[in-house]
């Protein structure tokens, strides 16, 4: 199981996602460009010392990411999803792809996903914070696949 972050905008969310991934034993793939420097103060504050321990792979572009991506399913978390994550059957090798906080992903990236998952929310709400959404879906994916870290 992996998290892939597509051109993240907000350093605090990326730091939080690195902390989440470190605590749950999940690798992070960061598809650049990011909207901040990885040494950014807010990024370091949100990630605490976990960001330094994260297994992080950086890719300079979407095309570079596609050229090295493992042969596994790419699952996009999106408000335009057509499948509720709660009814989806996850596999251990899946990659959960998260879009930019400000704009999601472009149509090219949306089309490349093997599945587009949504989190059911109240009709008068736009979306959840990307780190909260990732925690919900990653938790369910790990529950289904038995992928919790050793000793958990």
The count of structural domains within the chain is 1
**How far is Cα of residue 22 from the mean position of the Cα atoms in its chain?**
13
Q: How does DSSP classify residue 80? A: T
Give this prediction's pTM.
Answer: 0.90
What's the rounded Cα separation, in Å, for the pair 13 and 6?
Answer: 12
> What pLDDT band is residue 34 in, cutting at 50, 70 and 90?
confident
Does residue 150 sit within a domain? Answer: no
Does residue 151 sit within a domain? Answer: no
Does residue 42 sit within a domain? Answer: yes
Least confident span in 18-27, 37-46, 65-74, 113-122 = 37-46
Which pLDDT does position 74 carry in this prediction? 97
Per the CB < 8 A criterion, the answer to whether 29 and 5 are in contact is yes
> What pLDDT band is residue 35 in, cutting at 50, 70 and 90?
confident
- For residue 18, the domain's CATH number is 3.40.1280.10
Does residue 123 sit within a domain? Answer: yes
Which pLDDT does position 106 carry in this prediction? 96
pLDDT, tens digit (0-9, with 9 covering 90-100), for 59-97 = 999 999 999 987 889 999 999 999 999 999 999 999 999
Backbone phi, then psi, for 103, in 5-degree steps?
Answer: -145, 5
Average pLDDT in the 10-26 region? 90
Average pLDDT in the 34-38 region? 74
First and final C-alpha spacing in the chain: 16
Q: Is the pLDDT of residue 46 over 80?
A: no
Q: Domain range spanning residue 127?
A: 2-145
Does residue 28 sit within a domain? Answer: yes
Q: What does the buried/exposed string (b/e) look like for 115-125 if buried means 16 or more CB atoms within 10 Å of the residue's CB? A: bbbbbeeeeee
What's the rounded Cα separation, in Å, for the pair 134 and 97?
Answer: 9
Q: Is the pLDDT of residue 150 over 70?
A: no
């Amino acid at each position: 199981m992996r998290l892939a972050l597509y051109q993240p905008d907000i350093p605090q969310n990326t730091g939080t996602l690195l902390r989440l991934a470190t605590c749950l034993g999940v690798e992070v793939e960061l598809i650049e460009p990011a909207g901040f420097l990885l040494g950014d103060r807010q990024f370091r504050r949100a990630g605490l010392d976990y960001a330094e321990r994260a297994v992080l792979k950086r890719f300079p572009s979407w095309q570079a990411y596609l050229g090295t991506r493992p042969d596994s399913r790419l699952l996009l978390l999106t408000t335009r999803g057509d499948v509720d994550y709660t009814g989806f059957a996850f596999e251990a090798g899946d990659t959960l792809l998260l879009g930019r906080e400000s704009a999601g992903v472009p149509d090219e990236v949306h089309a490349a996903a093997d599945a587009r998952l949504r989190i059911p929310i109240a009709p008068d709400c736009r979306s959840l914070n990307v780190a909260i959404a990732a925690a919900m879906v990653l938790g369910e994916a790990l529950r289904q696949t038995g992928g919790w870290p050793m000793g958990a």
